[in-house]
Structure 1
Amino acid sequence: MNGYITVQEAAEKWGITARQVQILCKANRIAGVARLSRIWIIPENAKKPTCEKRKGGLKGE
């Protein structure tokens, strides 16, 4: 499909595992993601979501 990449391609592009990309898709953390049957399709220009847990300062700040 033109304009879309697979979970495996996104994993290589972002430097994370394919399973982590699937988890991000399921949690709607990637803009424009869609599911066709059992396959997630991700827009080519989608940005890697940031980790919300790591935002903020150190403990005690």
Structure 2
Amino acid sequence: MEYLTSNEIAEKWNISSRRVRILCGEGRVEGAIQKGILWLIPSNTQKPQELRRGRKKQDDI
């Protein structure tokens, strides 16, 4: 199985590497392994669904 770093996955998923590390820390990335300070993620892992909600605009309040 081929593993990619959080930076490589971030580029693949078009999100920040920090966001990838947060998702891994929350246990939302299937198969992710932490080796020291590195997160190793299987190359075939799908991006988890986004659970965050957007902010309301001032006009909507």
Q: TM-score range by the shorter chain?
A: 0.7 to 0.9
TM norm structure 2:
0.80
Gaps of 5+ in 2: 54-61
Q: Alpha-carbon deviations, 1:11-45, whole Å to 9, x = none?
A: 00000000000000000000000000111000000
**Aligned-residue CA RMSD in angstroms?**
1.2
Q: Which whole-Å CA distance do the structure 1 matches of 2:48 and 2:28 have between them?
A: 6
Q: Aligned residue pairs: how many?
A: 53
TM norm structure 1:
0.80
Gaps of 5+ in 1: 55-61
* Identity value in percent: 42
**Superposition misfits of 4+ residues, deviation over 3 angstroms:** none
Matching residue's letter, 2:28: R
